[in-house]
Structure 1
């Protein structure tokens, strides 16, 4: 005797299964996941080859998407590269706010430099390809320079508040911090020779970040000038 109820994996006779269209929020979520996958792949390819030698086809293959999707979402290879920069700046604003102590900013910068989502080596490639002829009309260049000048002003305020020695040029301190903070990403071969371990080792990242922070912290504000005693 057979049951009169349809099997849960069979449709009743005369009824066809209809495929449900994804809801708008589901399509948006899928699109964001695809864009994130493309960005992650792009960081890997750009970090390995630099902007000029990187091929969109290689990025698409690594992301497992159709190459046309990159044009659809980002417009061009340059647009994709700019989006990587925007993603970094959004992360930096949240994870490395200007209100942190300078040494703590440096530590967090070290950790971010080896994070595969951001590509610390991209700074090195940008520097190698730089011709000294920045296009002042380029929005990306203007935004970067404006941010750097904000950081100079913020560091100068720290010096006025007595956090750091005001005999140091704040622009020089920032460049020193950026260079040293990205050392594990830019000089992995030297770091392996020095520390005897891979530069993505969490233990090495934390050790190096702590050491660099100690160096920065050893630059206290200069002692105020001594006021002669009236009896002298």
Structure 2
């Protein structure tokens, strides 16, 4: 008795390996197309949600080429990380001031938000190949050079700056609700870049309530005194207006 649930033998299509001409036809271009397609799929669906077949379809290539060139989905992920590291080397140079470096990161995120969005997806799903520990040597060096105040932790500073750069790309609605600006506009780009630069430059200044920044504390107290004085004057003015 035959198995009615099994498809006829002729309907079974074995996985087709990439043809020799496909492998020889500009492998560099094929790899680039696959990486670009993987970036789109990962950014849209996260690492866990992205399917190899969808990546291949988006690239317009046989999915067996992914296994041939990268060994699978994780290999694509690792290749994307290596490509990002090479790109990062072009603008995160040791001789560039920290505010300039962060402005470049911001512009990259605004021009191509897929990276920050992919990072957000990865955090939400909790599914990714094992991540490497972030290299803080550059931030440590900048602290030693005086770009970061002595009482600030380089890792904490990096987290804050990463959030400042990623927010416009990951949650653009936050920009609209807080600043009333379109994060895709040149107005926002110019304004936020300048504000980010100023904030980063302030990182070199000491100060706080731990006794390291008395000058800043005195300035804070002076401003509070001025504000109290202004409130007092406004109160007197309201009294005169109400009393005729």
TM-score by structure 2 length? 0.66
Structure 1 counterpart of 2:91, from 82, 88, 95: 95
Alpha carbons 1:155, 1:170 under 8 Å: kept: yes
Label 1:116 to 1:42 Cα distance change in 2 as closer, same or farther (>3 A). farther
Distance of 1:44 and 1:196 partners within structure 2: 29
Distance of 1:74 and 1:179 partners within structure 2: 31
Q: Which protein is richer in helix relative to its size?
A: 2
Structure 2 counterpart of 1:172, from 156, 164, 185: 156
Answer 1 or 2: higher relative contact order, Cα 8 Å, separation at least 6: 1
1:106 aligns with 2:102: yes
Alpha carbons 2:40, 2:114 under 8 Å: kept: no
Q: Deviations over 1:60-97 (max 9, x none)?
A: 11111121222211110111111111110111112222
Label 1:31 to 1:204 Cα distance change in 2 as closer, same or farther (>3 A). farther
Q: Could you say which residue in structure 1 is the equivalent of 2:13?
A: none
The gaps in structure 1 that reach 5 residues or longer are: 1-21, 227-232
Q: Tell me, what secondary structure is at the counterpart of 1:100?
A: coil
More deviation in 190-199 or 207-216?
190-199
Alpha carbons 1:84, 1:118 under 8 Å: kept: no
Label 1:111 to 1:42 Cα distance change in 2 as closer, same or farther (>3 A). same
Q: Could you say which residue in structure 2 is the equivalent of 1:220?
A: 204
Q: Over aligned residue pairs, what C-alpha RMSD do you find?
A: 2.9
- What is the Cα deviation at residue 154 of structure 1? 2.9
Q: Deviations over 1:97-149 (max 9, x none)?
A: 23321111111111222343862211112222338xx98xx5xx3xx31xx23
Structure 2 counterpart of 1:43, from 39, 42, 51: 39
Label 1:123 to 1:98 Cα distance change in 2 as closer, same or farther (>3 A). farther
- What is the Cα deviation at residue 48 of structure 1? 0.8
Distance of 2:94 and 2:156 partners within structure 1: 17
Structure 2 counterpart of 1:130, from 123, 126, 133: 126
Q: Tell me, what secondary structure is at the counterpart of 2:90?
A: helix
Structure 1 counterpart of 2:78, from 69, 75, 82: 82
TM-score by structure 1 length? 0.70
Q: Tell me, what secondary structure is at the counterpart of 2:115?
A: coil
Q: Deviations over 1:155-205 (max 9, x none)?
A: 233233322211111110011111111112211232244455653445533
Count of aligned pairs:
188
Label 1:40 to 1:180 Cα distance change in 2 as closer, same or farther (>3 A). same
1:205 aligns with 2:180: no
More deviation in 112-121 or 183-192?
112-121
Q: Tell me, what secondary structure is at the counterpart of 1:119?
A: helix
Q: Could you say which residue in structure 2 is the equivalent of 1:66?
A: 62
